[in-house]
Structure 1
Amino acid sequence: MKLKMVGLGKMGLNLALNMKEHGVDVEGFDVNEEARKKAESENIKTYASLEDVASKDEKNVIWVMLPAGKITNSVLLQLVELCKANDIVIDGGNSDHRDSLKTAHLMEEKGIYFFDIGTSGGVYGARHGASFMCGGDPDVFKNELQKMLESIATTNGCLYTGKTGSGHYLKMIHNAMLYGYMQTLGEGFELLEKSEFDYDLQNVADSLSKSSVIRGWLLELAADAFKKDPDLSKIKGVVGASKTTGWTIESACELGVPIPVISTSLMMRLRSKQDDSFSAKVIASLRDEVGGHKAQSK
């Protein structure tokens, strides 16, 4: 299978390397020359322009892995004009599912198959096995994409979610769940840190990650963070927030579904810009470990 990756940043390049390792004939494009050179150093052929990516002579499978919003939407609109019937275009970023529905409509008019694929697992997952949430045409997914996606996914990590928009909607909810879980971890570790007991937080996180009801990857990452900086003294308790959880709150209001934990977790991230709590430091360090969102240093 031949695939062209548009966006060779930390996620796009690692996905491309993962694909290459699993037999995909992967090529790439990035507006940044240094990003192209880095890909070429890994023996990935690159193109100098988006026009060159969309071949007129062969079927295109193009994966867009760019920051959500204006940049992604602009590239997708260009691909609507550049691609032809039966080409496949994938948006693997964190786009608003409402934007994905608009994009799909434009591509459908030209006979282009559009897939919105939510991608989870961070930079590590992109390189070694991610989780994919795939919305789009079921037959094209089964016949042309499923085998490739399963090869680069973690075990049981490739899920067909249904019609267009469903992949990015699920990824949005996934991100909102992550906010809530990170918030509870941050609050719990702050209680441990401020208690009268002398806990080794690295050992606590490591043990709970392996043996408890709340075991999981985030606790493993918390253990890694405490190993690097036991009291998180090098980190500012400032936690960034993407747009996806705000979109989730909008959806909850439209559907009449109360989501107090998720809503509060977003408010606490906004509050973190005004104070410097230990719980915010834990969450900031987890964002760094999960997705390479660099925590602010003191």
Structure 2
Amino acid sequence: MQMGMIGLGRMGGNMVKRLRDGGHTVVGFDMNPDSARDVDSLEALVAALDAPRVVWVMVPAGAATDSTVETLAGLLDAGDIVIDGGNSRYTDDERHAELLAAKGVKFLDCGVSGGVWGAERGYALMVGGEKETFEAVRPLLETLKPEGEYGLVLAGPVGGGHFAKMVHNGIEYGMMQAFGEGFATMMRSEYVDDPAATMVSWRSGSVVASWLLDLFENATKDDPELKNMPPVANESGEAKWMVEAALGLGVPTPATAAALYARQTSRGGADDILRVVTAMRAQFGGHITKIDEIATH
């Protein structure tokens, strides 16, 4: 098939590589003139594609995606297809679909997982939209997914793909937090001599074996105690959206919420909170915590 890709960063660029290796023709555009783009504007990208066109949007969620979809709505023709493969919030998808539908343009939202390894391993794809539109682009999706039976699903109507990816990322938060807590517990125990090697041993035969453990082994080969890794983890929004959605649906998500708060705390968000707690403890109980004592622990 032929497709246009908007956004040639770490994800988009690797997806283009996998698609081209699979025999598809891809016209790439990125705002960065130093990227490996084929055209220098959205107008040029649309002009380079044969109708009916397929355009994949792989830019940051929010304003960048909104602006790109709005521009495409004015450039594309009825029967064309837009796929949003970024991490947009599922509630944005309905708005984008309605905007494009007014011009006769079809829309799919696609949650993409695979990171920088996707070009080699393939990407897990969670799609939302009409089945007819999904089937029209299936050859592209089949090339992007991993080999084998799994890795591609039509999750539901518009919004379903990004909703599924949101839940996927919430689960990912919880899994990584659990591994981190286990590693930290072993690091502080006299009973485990090599926590990293112990966790790596779980890659075979264990019920917690996973690709995350494979990546953990990569990270600890040269730094088994992860001393060179900063103790700060950013959060990109999906876990927060999942907790909000779950609250609205009456679903308790304590593991996801705890992992989310741990990341926010790592970025210094709890400093003022803990200063208040420490100040109050000092007032009512005389519990004095000195800065130099903290630095030695």
1:137 is aligned, of 130, 139, 145, to 130
1:74 is aligned, of 67, 72, 76, to 67
Coordinate RMSD, CA, aligned: 1.5
User: How far apart are the structure 2 equivalents of 1:22 and 1:207?
Assistant: 35
Q: Which structure is larger by alpha-carbon Rg, 1 or 2? A: 2
2:44 maps to 1:52: yes
Q: Which residue of 1 aligns with 2:286?
A: none
1:200 is aligned, of 168, 174, 194, to 194
* Structure 2 residue matching 1:133: 3-state secondary structure: strand
Contact 2:196 2:225 in 1 (8 A): no
Q: Which residue of 2 aligns with 1:113?
A: 106
Give the residue type in structure 2 aligned to 1:236. P
How far apart are 1:225 and its partner, in Å?
0.9
Moved more, 110-119 or 56-65: 56-65
How far apart are 1:148 and its partner, in Å?
2.2
Provide Cα deviations, 1:237-279, integer angstroms capped at 9, x if missing partner: 001001111111111121111111111110010111239xxxx
Normalising by structure 2, we get a TM-score of: 0.86
How far apart are 1:127 and its partner, in Å?
4.3
Q: Which residue of 2 aligns with 1:237?
A: 231
* Structure 2 residue matching 1:195: 3-state secondary structure: coil
Contact 1:201 1:226 in 2 (8 A): no
The runs of at least 4 aligned residues of structure 1 exceeding 3 Å deviation read: none
Provide Cα deviations, 1:207-238, integer angstroms capped at 9, x if missing partner: 10222011010011111111131111111100
Unaligned residue ranges in structure 2 (runs of 5+): 270-297
Q: Which residue of 2 aligns with 1:278?
A: none
Q: Which residue of 2 aligns with 1:162?
A: 156
How far apart are 1:27 and its partner, in Å?
1.2
**Compared CA separation, residues 26 and 127, structure 1 to 2 (3 A):** farther
Provide Cα deviations, 1:52-71, integer angstroms capped at 9, x if missing partner: 11238632110011111111
Q: Which residue of 1 aligns with 2:242?
A: 248
Q: Which residue of 1 aligns with 2:17?
A: 17
Unaligned residue ranges in structure 1 (runs of 5+): 40-45, 276-298
Q: Which residue of 2 aligns with 1:2?
A: 2
User: How far apart are the structure 2 equivalents of 1:197 and 1:220?
Assistant: 24
Contact 1:7 1:66 in 2 (8 A): yes
Contact 2:108 2:133 in 1 (8 A): no
Identify which of structures 1 and 2 has the higher relative contact order when contacts are C-alpha pairs closer than 8 Å and 6+ apart.
1
Matched residues, percent identical?
A: 39
Aligned pairs, number: 266
Moved more, 127-136 or 48-57: 48-57
User: How far apart are the structure 1 equivalents of 2:120 and 2:83?
Assistant: 18
* Structure 2 residue matching 1:84: 3-state secondary structure: coil
2:115 maps to 1:128: no
Q: Which residue of 2 aligns with 1:289?
A: none
User: How far apart are the structure 2 equivalents of 1:246 and 1:200?
Assistant: 34
How far apart are 1:159 and its partner, in Å?
0.9
Q: Which residue of 2 aligns with 1:65?
A: 58
* Structure 1 residue matching 2:132: 3-state secondary structure: helix
Contact 1:201 1:223 in 2 (8 A): no
Q: Which residue of 1 aligns with 2:80?
A: 87
Query: Which structure 2 residues correspond to residues 163-242 of structure 1 after superposition, within 5 A?
Result: 163-242=157-236
